[in-house]
Structure 1
Amino acid sequence: MKQLTGLDASFLYLETPNAPMHISGLSIYDQSTAPGGKVRFKDIIENTNNRLMSMPVMTQKLVTVPMNLDHPYWVTDGAFDPEFHIRHIALPKPGDWRQLCIVISRLHARPLDRAHPLWELYIIEGLDNVKGVPKGSFAMFSKTHHAAIDGTSGMELTAATHDLSPDYQRAHTAATVSVDSQPSALEMVIRSQYNSIRKPFHLLSVARNTVPGLAKVVAGLSKGQLSRIKDIPRTRFNDSVSPHRVFDAINVPLDDVKKIKNSVPGATVNDAAITIVGGALRKYLQAHDELPEQSLAAMAPVNVRSDKDKTGGNIVASMTVQVRSDVEDPLQRLQAVHESSSKAKELTNAIGAKTMTDYSQFIPATLTAQAARLASRWGLMNRMSPQFNCVITNVPGPPIPLYNTGAKMVANYGTGPVQDGLGLFHVISSYCGQFVISATSCRVIMPDPAFYRECLQASFDELLAAANAASSPAPAKKRKARTPARKTKARKARSAA
């Protein structure tokens, strides 16, 4: 039995009927590489069961403290049934990319059942008309609650179920699970009272560690060495969300993204990704006649997980970055994004990213859950000044091929949760030389996700063209051919002598 941290629990408190708080991943596989050229559904169940059941997130369910006096607990479920969590479906005809996006949107919109461990896995067949995907391929769409994992720990789960070669070997022994004793209501109430006594002392310790960072921030802001983003504009992405989701993505060569970032000294691949998103938002809002004069801003999660943190859950902070949607020229926008992200990192480092997660331990369980429900019911997010316009999270993947039950992964995408006031979520991922930007929103806020995908692609194409033009040497000016000088009379006389 393990208690959720304040940050993990916050994703439960923020969940509303219109805003389930799970994160999802979509992977597409070519089963022709598997032994015998085919993967059976029972092979996937067996592989998942044997490789993941030893990980607590897969077998633990939530137990709530009476009256929400404290954060909930994870307790290993003795009635765990993998076939409840792993499901088999097929795309409707014509089985193309649009149909896949529609199915993913509908699956992502459904909340997870809190009576069971908070994850689901869908095996999707019928992808024969998805462009760029080999015939006979299938997809795996995984959903896990954000209270249980973040992007980094999610990648660790992916690594656990995959091999580096197609030589799939079935496990001879099934995984075993140690079942926890179920805590009584009285036991949890006593624990909550004990924690309430300890928290003030812990808070003093965290506050003491925060003082040096705050001093740096105050000094940096007063001297102009640090800056914070002001006047973030309100856009359609800051409205209330509906229960319906939309999803789309672009897939481009990673080498091209690196070429883009190399066009500005010091810029990173992440800067290039933010710049692509900034250009797409500019094009999208311009088309809807809604582009504000000020730049939109994104919340960018920051991984503060150390090598010792192997317990799953969320170990992240965040920073605010301007996407510079106010800059038309693509390379000037990249330069501006690089400067904005550098300043955001300086501010986050001055405060201490880990400190932000430490303060999450003191989130009051009852008040936070009630506040989230009331804010959703009363539409408070529509009246408050926005702190961000969207989320951009970067989850780098492996540069080498991965195989699941012998089937080669050919593409990988991500989806994230949207909520009132924050209705657009981007997942930046890379895999085997590919670079993917996935976008998740709600149908009311973004009724035209395919058009937003076109905006992302156009923004990338524009940046790549500008980077290629900047790196190409200017054509040399043609020199006029020199004509032989005419001999003067004096020179003629000397030459004759």
Structure 2
Amino acid sequence: MDASFVALETRNSPMHIGSILVYNPETAPGSFVRFKDILQFIGDRAQLSRTMRQRLVRVPFDLDYPYWVEDPDFDLEYHVRHVALPKPGDWRQLCIQAARIFARPLDLDRPPWEFTVIEGLDNVPGVAPGSFAMVTKVHHAAIDGMSGIDLMEALHTLRPTDPPPNKPDNWKPERIPNPIELLGKSYFNAVTNPLKQLEVAAKAAPGLAKAIKGLVVKDFTVSADMLAPKSRFNRAISPHRVVEGRSFKLADIKAIRALAEGAKVNDVFLAIIGGAMRQYLLAKDDLPKKTLTAMAPISVRAGGEKGDMGNQVAAMIAPLGTHLADPAERLAFVFSQTANSKAMSDAIGARNMTEMSKVSPALFMALGAQLYTRLGLANRGVAPPFTTVVTNVPGPPVPIHFSGARLESMMGLLCLTDGLGLGHVVQSYCDEATIAFTADRELLPDPDFYVKCIEDSFAELLAATQQATAAPKAEAAPAKRKGAARKVKAA
């Protein structure tokens, strides 16, 4: 899976993920953070993250998966940059700057990450004067959503004055293996891969049997709603990006669950995004009659793998209910469909799905990924497996600090590929939840309108919730009068 993100890397599709983080320096010493303080802070804590000082080494002709090597030329100042917004320094300018930074590919001959500190946030509503932002970029081959949170933990402290780690940094650089050594490793893996495939097949067999049984007894169904129709977002993409997002009270998101008994917070987010995509495409006279779908990643990272690099995720398909105008009906539909998808994933075993990807021959995986892009299959009517991505990443429930400055908000950013021109990240932090999106600028040229669609969809669901909770109270009120109760009974 990690290797597929390397194989998919092109100029138009840089395969990194990241965030826009906004910090308030009022908690730092002197209420001010210097750039050299940031460099010192990151350098002191680099030992807490395996991601920061390892680089990729690709095998000639992609005959094997790439290898991770401790970079002998690691240079912290290359990875941490510093810019300022032009006046007036508003939210729109921050998003434009972040989109430009995020659109540029990482240098894969170095550890695949960059942090850009952005100052000059002088006119952003709700952001204190003197605050700064940081745009993070980490290649998806190195982290998934949950290990990204581990990286966040490594680079933040609970208290603004917490000291750096008190244990020695025993990191040692490694020599970059030459092509002959890499080809030797690839030969060994090619010989052992069939044995690995047999092992995975044996582990997967009980899950597949359980899945077949589940279909027979109808524990879940393979619904036509899980097949995505073609949409404007499922085409070849350009190298240009737009990013935006909005934060909502987490308490309101949780309250909306009452519209559909048993619904989860993630169902609410999916219903909000479904409503937003419906409104946006209706305005463009481009809404398919069939429901659009989302790929929702599922973390299978075990407790003992918390600090491990790479991706430990499976996925489920979640229909978004874009064919339904009523917000309550849409939430109920989304909940029923995600419950069905979860039952299917549980039957097969989400971990089994991840393990199966580990034994795919590297050469065929790389060729398949490259041919999809080079042949322009996204523009040739090849049906997309899903319309968009909605990944839910739980953030810290308490305030955290970076170089003494308090983190005020966080907004996730996603990589895009041909056939996937719009992706969403849902992220919680303290008492707020943020829905952010990354899109190809050619396919979604008006991010201000789409973010309004997200706001409107949330408002519709919240209004429907408030109306539904108020209705029983209104119906119960006449029952307090005995006479009225008798009349109803007589009728």
Picking from 339, 357, 368, the partner of 2:354 is: 357
Structure 2 unaligned residues grouped into runs of 5+: 484-491
The verdict on how the C-alpha distance between 1:229 and 1:96 changes in structure 2, with shifts beyond 3 A counting, is farther
TM-score by length of 1: 0.92
Residue 106 of structure 1 is matched in structure 2 by 100
Give, in angstroms, the shift of residue 478 of structure 1: 9.4
Which secondary structure state, in structure 1, belongs to the residue aligned with residue 411 of structure 2?
Answer: strand
Task: Tell me the distance in 2 between the aligned counterparts of 1:351 and 1:105.
Answer: 38
The residue type paired with residue 347 of structure 1 is M
Give, in angstroms, the shift of residue 369 of structure 1: 2.4
Residue 76 of structure 2 is matched in structure 1 by 82
The residue type paired with residue 300 of structure 2 is V
The verdict on how the C-alpha distance between 1:172 and 1:195 changes in structure 2, with shifts beyond 3 A counting, is closer
Residue 237 of structure 1 is matched in structure 2 by 233
Residue 178 of structure 2 is matched in structure 1 by 184
Structure 1 unaligned residues grouped into runs of 5+: 1-6, 483-497
Residue 386 of structure 2 is matched in structure 1 by 388
Residue 487 of structure 2 is matched in structure 1 by none
Give, in angstroms, the shift of residue 277 of structure 1: 0.4
Residue 255 of structure 2 is matched in structure 1 by 259
Which secondary structure state, in structure 2, belongs to the residue aligned with residue 293 of structure 1?
Answer: coil
What is the percent sequence identity of the aligned residues? Answer: 45
Q: 5 Å matches for 1:341-356?
A: 341-356=338-353
Residue 406 of structure 1 is matched in structure 2 by 404
Residue 14 of structure 1 is matched in structure 2 by 8
Which secondary structure state, in structure 1, belongs to the residue aligned with residue 396 of structure 2?
Answer: coil
Residue 215 of structure 2 is matched in structure 1 by 221
Residue 470 of structure 1 is matched in structure 2 by 468
The verdict on how the C-alpha distance between 1:219 and 1:190 changes in structure 2, with shifts beyond 3 A counting, is same
Task: Tell me the distance in 2 between the aligned counterparts of 1:58 and 1:467.
Answer: 45
Task: Tell me the distance in 2 between the aligned counterparts of 1:426 and 1:79.
Answer: 35
Task: Tell me the distance in 2 between the aligned counterparts of 1:394 and 1:48.
Answer: 26
Residue 488 of structure 2 is matched in structure 1 by none
- Structure 2 residue 363 is matched with structure 1 residue 366: yes
Give, in angstroms, the shift of residue 218 of structure 1: 2.1
Is the contact between residue 71 and residue 173 of structure 2 (CA under 8 Å) also seen in structure 1?
yes
Task: Tell me the distance in 2 between the aligned counterparts of 1:227 and 1:14.
Answer: 32
The residue type paired with residue 48 of structure 1 is I
Residue 338 of structure 1 is matched in structure 2 by 335
Residue 318 of structure 1 is matched in structure 2 by 315
Residue 299 of structure 1 is matched in structure 2 by 295
Give, in angstroms, the shift of residue 266 of structure 1: 0.9
Most deviating of 131-140 and 60-69 = 60-69
Question: For 1:212-241, what per-residue CA distance to the aligned partner results, in whole angstroms no more than 9, with x for missing partners?
Answer: 222222232234332224242110111111
The verdict on how the C-alpha distance between 1:224 and 1:47 changes in structure 2, with shifts beyond 3 A counting, is same
Is the contact between residue 229 and residue 320 of structure 1 (CA under 8 Å) also seen in structure 2?
no
Residue 128 of structure 1 is matched in structure 2 by 122
Tell me how many residue pairs correspond in the alignment: 476
Give, in angstroms, the shift of residue 152 of structure 1: 0.5
Which secondary structure state, in structure 1, belongs to the residue aligned with residue 176 of structure 2?
Answer: coil
Task: Tell me the distance in 1 between the aligned counterparts of 2:341 and 2:290.
Answer: 17
Give, in angstroms, the shift of residue 180 of structure 1: 1.6
Give, in angstroms, the shift of residue 308 of structure 1: 1.4
Task: Tell me the distance in 2 between the aligned counterparts of 1:264 and 1:481.
Answer: 33
Is the contact between residue 49 and residue 174 of structure 1 (CA under 8 Å) also seen in structure 2?
no
The verdict on how the C-alpha distance between 1:356 and 1:257 changes in structure 2, with shifts beyond 3 A counting, is same
The residue type paired with residue 234 of structure 1 is K
Is the contact between residue 56 and residue 76 of structure 1 (CA under 8 Å) also seen in structure 2?
no
Give the number of the structure whose alpha-carbon radius of gyration is greater: 1
Residue 61 of structure 1 is matched in structure 2 by 55
Which secondary structure state, in structure 2, belongs to the residue aligned with residue 57 of structure 1?
Answer: coil
Question: For 1:355-390, what per-residue CA distance to the aligned partner results, in whole angstroms no more than 9, with x for missing partners?
Answer: 111111222322332332332222112221111000
User: For the aligned residues, what is the CA RMSD?
Assistant: 1.8
Task: Tell me the distance in 1 between the aligned counterparts of 2:83 and 2:247.
Answer: 25
Picking from 97, 114, 119, the partner of 2:113 is: 119
The residue type paired with residue 365 of structure 1 is A
The verdict on how the C-alpha distance between 1:40 and 1:209 changes in structure 2, with shifts beyond 3 A counting, is same
Which secondary structure state, in structure 2, belongs to the residue aligned with residue 262 of structure 1?
Answer: helix
The verdict on how the C-alpha distance between 1:229 and 1:238 changes in structure 2, with shifts beyond 3 A counting, is farther
Task: Tell me the distance in 2 between the aligned counterparts of 1:170 and 1:418.
Answer: 36
The verdict on how the C-alpha distance between 1:187 and 1:377 changes in structure 2, with shifts beyond 3 A counting, is closer
TM-score by length of 2: 0.94
- Structure 2 residue 372 is matched with structure 1 residue 375: yes
Give, in angstroms, the shift of residue 447 of structure 1: 0.6
